[in-house]
Amino acid sequence: MNILVTGGAGYVGSHVVEELLKTGKHEVVVLDNLQKGHRASVQGGIFVQGDLADMDLLHNLFKEYAIEAVVHMAADSLVGESVERPDKYFHNNITNGLNLLNAMVHNDARYIVFSSTAAVYGEPVETPITEDHPQVPTNPYGESKLFFEKIMARYDAAYGLRHISLRYFNAAGASPSGAIGEDHRPETHLIPIVLQVALGQREKITIFGTDYDTPDGTCVRDYVHVTDLATAHLLALDALEGKAASTAYNLGNGQGFSVREVIDMVEKVVGKSLPRAEGARRPGDPAVLVASSQRIMEELGWQPCYHDLETIVRTAWNWHKGHPQGFRS
């Protein structure tokens, strides 16, 4: 298939591109504005630097490369920033996303795999979270992703545009190939921050909140390996090509780890203890987010290969050690 990958130079995007290329059966066109992504993270295919705001560019790409399917990952994705700048999140994640959907309909591209998030559920009322859990996002980021899922449902009903939304829990780790990994600027995610402490690039790790209603008082999250996330996109594309109906799937390992447990695991992997401090809660953090991914396992046969936390942390550490300055190393 000829596939357009938006945001393909980002963390999850670059891992999706790597897996798509491995199959040897797809023509991959990556579109990324490189505001956050890294050109060096794109392992092959055709790279186009550009923005979803540019409607002419989108029409040209669909025509020139005869695009049949889209994996849409271009988005702003920081919860905290979305609270400060809802305008930015609604504009980039919805208005620009609509340009993409309109270009798809206009150019007869019929399938889209969409990068969604656990943030569509908001504060969990039961755990593990299934896809039928109430969707009450507590921040503009989660809202923007949920609105987009609803928009796609309307486009399916009206124009036959079939979609699969993949609701990621905590993406983590790095490609076992060693070629690509996580390089956000600024970095806000737990595992890379702890690894930066291990590399001596940060003085200490601050735990955001120790008074949650969890076994050790710190937040519990479901960490899922980025390559396992990537393979789910391939399964979703195959399903859509095979006439699957539009739907949404959670992607997690179904097992939660507390912030303290993650730091302990990083210490084990790097072989030394790391300075930690206890800080205030970060606004908007739910105490526990753990996925049930039964639906994608049963319906698409998704099977995570790197599900244990040690492997997740070890792959991340291998990449960070080899690339202490990220893609600028």
Q: Under the criterion CB under 6 A, does residue 77 sit at the interface with ligand UFG? A: yes
> Which residue among 141, 155, 168, 249 is the active-site one?
141
247 to 149, 153, 195, 243, 258: CA distances (angstroms): 9, 9, 36, 12, 30
Angle between helices 96-106 and 140-159 (to 10 degrees): 20
Q: Where are the alpha helices (DSSP H) in the chain?
A: 11-23, 55-64, 79-84, 86-90, 96-106, 140-159, 190-198, 226-241, 259-270, 294-300, 309-322
Active-site residue flag, 141: yes
**Cα 73–115–318 angle (5° rounding)?**
75
* Side chain identity, residue 115: S
CA–CA distance, 213 with 43 (Å, rounded to integer): 43
Q: Which of residues 32-71 bind ligand UFG (CB under 6 A)?
A: none
Q: Which residues lie below 8 Å from residue 77, measured CB to CB, with a gap of 6+?
A: 117, 141
Smallest separation (angstroms) from ligand UFG to the CB of 283: 10
Kindly tell me which residue out of 163, 221, 233, 260 binds ligand UFG, with binding defined by CB under 6 A: 221
Stretch touching ligand UFG by CB under 6 A, among 1-9, 56-64, 202-210, 320-328: 202-210
Stretch touching ligand UFG by CB under 6 A, among 88-96, 108-116, 227-235, 281-289: 281-289
Stretch touching ligand UFG by CB under 6 A, among 52-60, 111-119, 228-236, 243-251: 111-119
Q: Under the criterion CB under 6 A, does residue 287 sit at the interface with ligand UFG? A: no
Residue whose CB is less far from ligand UFG, 47 or 148: 148
Stretch touching ligand UFG by CB under 6 A, among 15-23, 59-67, 182-190, 310-318: 182-190
Nearest-CB residue to ligand UFG?
219
Q: Under the criterion CB under 6 A, does residue 189 sit at the interface with ligand UFG? A: yes
Token pair for 225: 């390996």
CA–CA distance, 326 with 329 (Å, rounded to integer): 6
Residue whose CB is less far from ligand UFG, 100 or 119: 119
Q: Under the criterion CB under 6 A, does residue 190 sit at the interface with ligand UFG? A: yes
Q: Under the criterion CB under 6 A, does residue 147 sit at the interface with ligand UFG? A: no
* Side chain identity, residue 41: S
Q: Under the criterion CB under 6 A, does residue 219 sit at the interface with ligand UFG? A: yes
Token pair for 194: 């702890």
CB 317 within 8 A of CB 326: no
Catalytic sites, residue numbers: 141
Q: In the complex, which residues of this chain contact ligand UFG (CB under 6 A)?
A: 77, 79, 117-119, 141, 170, 188-190, 193, 205-208, 219, 221, 259, 282, 285, 289
